[in-house]
Structure 1
Amino acid sequence: MEDIFYWCRENNTIQVRLWLDDTENDFNKGDDHGFSALHWSAKEGHTKLVEMLLARGARVNATNMGEDIPLHLAAAHGHIDVVLMLIKAKSDINAQNEHGNTPLHYACFWGYQHIAEELVNHGALVSLANKDGDTPLDKAKSLLAKRLHDLAIESGQELKKISIKDNQWLGLKTRSRDATLSRYKGINIEDLKLHTKVSISPSGETWRGRWQNNDVIAKILTIREITPRVSRDFNEEFPKLRIFSHPNILPLIGACNSQKHLVTISQYMPRGSLYDLLHSAAGIVVDTAQAVRFALDIAKGMAYLHSLERIIPEFFLNSFHVMIDEDLTARINMGDCKFSFQERGRIYQPAWMSPETLQRKRADRNWEACDMWSFSIVVWELMTREIPFVDLSPMECGMRIATEGLRVQIPPGASAHLSKLIKICMNEEAGKRPRFDMVIPILEKMGAKF
């Protein structure tokens, strides 16, 4: 990890920014004690660094080895500006560490009245007990305790003591995955423990398994013959998909290149794909506010990919290729990119594709505009909770989109703002479609209304 933690402690914003710009660097990883870059910046009160890391998508509720989130550290060290930033970024205000202490416990113990008041005003519970049975009010001096007691009553809090409950068995903590995944290029296939076949597609078999004590997804590519050229191309192209520097990109974390198999490995996402989330019976309810958040995440991820030199031969945006993290962050899955030696010219989800993608050769397409069309279909999917052209076979769907003007229809009563965005992004003239960096502020403005 070079000296990223030292640079955060020393407030070296220039060096941290340069480090973050390297796509291979994962700023959500922790040091030997699980402290992430955001943990250290919050602890030291470096507001510019905290602001930078939050803007890049640092996990605001990641925990260190003691189960502290950054808000614990900012509150314990009296950094009110950082506390307010973390609250605005939706930090878990009542998070309990291994001792059962919340950020409010520490603010009360150290006598940081302004921080304690802000925490209570934003929903911190004054009656939540730690493992010793002490509430924040028990840790505060009398005047502060009375002030917080009165604030809690004004905000309608119940003052009956709430005993601590051990929720770790529920799998709610966010530390283990991000702090321990290693990033080696070459992985011995014998080290992979694959146990459950997830799916089979023309491009390969997808398995769930374990590697280095972490849950992973392994994709065994379908290759007729692994020739020396295919092996060489795989080795050249795979590293380009290890994009660790953006929160809305799900990178490949490893690969196996043997004489028998080519395998890509990525982090397991328990919520599955956006398609699964929207269309399975077990999916969550996605209201308009959440739909806008998902769309914003996807737009940010695609804008980042478009800011790079085209790194991969082909990537087709659709809801199958967007994974949902446990904190409901949408992430573009690099594991669904097609390598140059895979199924050239074959298309399997035409419903999300622009007419020119289906009509023209790869060299004749405006890829950015094609991606924007696909994005509009995903937004339509988020808005309607429907599968585009579900009653048509892929072949018929693709033919009618390309030659007969088949298009998704916006239903009556749909969100006016999302409907307008879809129409803009689906402009029949590719050159008139917006870029993703133009769409992001529109979605941010929409999101602020919810």
Structure 2
Amino acid sequence: MRNVQVSKGKPLDWVSGQPVTDEHGRLQIIKNDDLEELQELGSGTFGTVYHGKWRGSDVAIKRINDRCFAGKPSEQEKMRNDFWNEASNLADLHHPNVVAFYGVVLDGPGGSIATVTEYMVNGSLRTALLKNSKSLDRRKRLIIAMDTAFGMEYLHNKNIVHFDLKSDNLLVNLRDPQRPICKVGDLGLSKVKCQTLISGGVRGTLPWMAPELLNGSSSLVSEKVDVFSFGIVLWELLTGEEPYADLHYGVIIGGIVSNTLRPQVPDSCDPEWRSLMEQCWATEPSERPSFTQIAVRLRAMAASQKVQS
């Protein structure tokens, strides 16, 4: 198999897994023998995710389908290069509200590839909203929104656009009954590695996608696409529901592109929450706040709630 070029120009043999790190020592090659799979958490086009142990610590192991690297030799090499460079970049990220990326496995069953990341005990926010809706009061939902904003502020300051921010890609730990923890996850490797997704086109998941991603104005795409998605996440936190669950995809696309479709906001919605949410999903990217501004507003909402209570 061809060698892959590590970022900064250092070669890596994909089969042997040498060298163990690039010259910054930031991306770790994890031996498959050091991993223990405990439970399957889910699967998709990219492969299968497991809750596992890595030398005694809880981790999430994502086994990537071989077909994600299928194609002509030149295409395979490009995809593996992309994979390696993206993995190196993810290993550089360190923030309490971004899921930690530990390393890659190159010697999985049949030479398969896997990624190893931080394990979040309660899974996705989507799952938590379905299972723990009654225990997630307004204060806790506000904390989850703040955590998400802090994580996204960090990523945008690193010039990283998520492109697929949604409750399924936000991971939570609800063990502390007073203080839920939320972290931004799925920053690319789990989904952009399948050839159909790598080779381009649209990135994201329809109900959370900003109009500029769908209407052909790709030159206007900026980090504000994540802010639009966050507006939909705020609605998910508010209602516990899935956006446009009863609508056909064609109707959703048409509604987003024509800017006639947004989730229905309940009358009981707090005015400040409504104002922030609607500004996040504004049609014009320039009218959407930055995550720094969003974090300031959420902090103020949390402070005023403490005063009221």
TM-score, scaled relative to structure 2 = 0.77
Match of 2:127 in 1: 276
Partners of 2:249 and 2:64 lie apart in 1 by 22
Match of 1:107 in 2: none
Match of 1:287 in 2: 137
1:441 corresponds to which of 275, 296, 305: 296
1:330 aligns with 2:182: yes
2:85 corresponds to which of 217, 228, 236: 236
1:356 corresponds to which of 198, 205, 212: 212
Match of 1:198 in 2: 41
Contact residue 352 and residue 377 of structure 1 kept, 8 A: yes
Contact residue 27 and residue 88 of structure 2 kept, 8 A: no
Partners of 2:92 and 2:126 lie apart in 1 by 23
Match of 1:391 in 2: 246
Contact residue 27 and residue 91 of structure 2 kept, 8 A: no
Contact residue 252 and residue 334 of structure 1 kept, 8 A: no
1:382 corresponds to which of 229, 234, 237: 237
Amino acid corresponding to residue 351 of structure 1 in structure 2? P
Deviation of 1:205 after TM superposition, in Å, equals 1.5
Q: Identify unmatched segments of 5+ residues in structure 1.
A: 1-182
Match of 1:252 in 2: 101
Counting only pairs closer than 5 Å after superposition, residues 30-429 of structure 1 correspond to structure 2 as: 185-224=28-67, 225=69, 227-258=76-107, 260-280=111-131, 282-283=132-133, 285-310=135-160, 315-325=163-173, 326-327=175-176, 328-334=180-186, 337=189, 338-339=191-192, 342=195, 343=197, 344-345=200-201, 349-360=205-216, 363-403=218-258, 405-429=260-284
Partners of 1:395 and 1:348 lie apart in 2 by 16
Amino acid corresponding to residue 231 of structure 1 in structure 2? R
Provide closer, same or farther for how the CA distance between residues 233 and 270 of structure 1 changes in structure 2, counting only shifts above 3 A: same
Partners of 2:267 and 2:49 lie apart in 1 by 39
Provide closer, same or farther for how the CA distance between residues 404 and 435 of structure 1 changes in structure 2, counting only shifts above 3 A: closer
Q: Which moved more, 1:240-249 or 1:222-231?
A: 222-231
Contact residue 383 and residue 415 of structure 1 kept, 8 A: no
TM-score, scaled relative to structure 1 = 0.54
Q: Deviations over 1:299-336 (max 9, x none)?
A: 111111010133x7x53111111111244111001455
Provide closer, same or farther for how the CA distance between residues 404 and 425 of structure 1 changes in structure 2, counting only shifts above 3 A: closer
SS at match of 1:250: coil
Match of 1:60 in 2: none
Contact residue 427 and residue 433 of structure 1 kept, 8 A: yes
- How many residues are aligned here? 264
Q: Whose radius of gyration is greater, 1 or 2?
A: 1
What RMSD over aligned residues (CA atoms) do the two structures have, in Å? 2.4
Deviation of 1:260 after TM superposition, in Å, equals 3.3
Amino acid corresponding to residue 262 of structure 2 in structure 1? R
Contact residue 227 and residue 290 of structure 2 kept, 8 A: yes
Larger RCO of the pair (alpha carbons < 8 Å, separation 6+):
2
Amino acid corresponding to residue 414 of structure 1 in structure 2? C
Deviation of 1:394 after TM superposition, in Å, equals 4.2
Provide closer, same or farther for how the CA distance between residues 357 and 246 of structure 1 changes in structure 2, counting only shifts above 3 A: same
The structure with the greater share of residues assigned to strand is 2
Match of 1:173 in 2: none
Amino acid corresponding to residue 147 of structure 2 in structure 1? D
Q: Identify unmatched segments of 5+ residues in structure 2.
A: 1-25, 71-75
SS at match of 1:414: coil
Deviation of 1:284 after TM superposition, in Å, equals 5.3
SS at match of 2:62: strand
Amino acid corresponding to residue 266 of structure 2 in structure 1? P
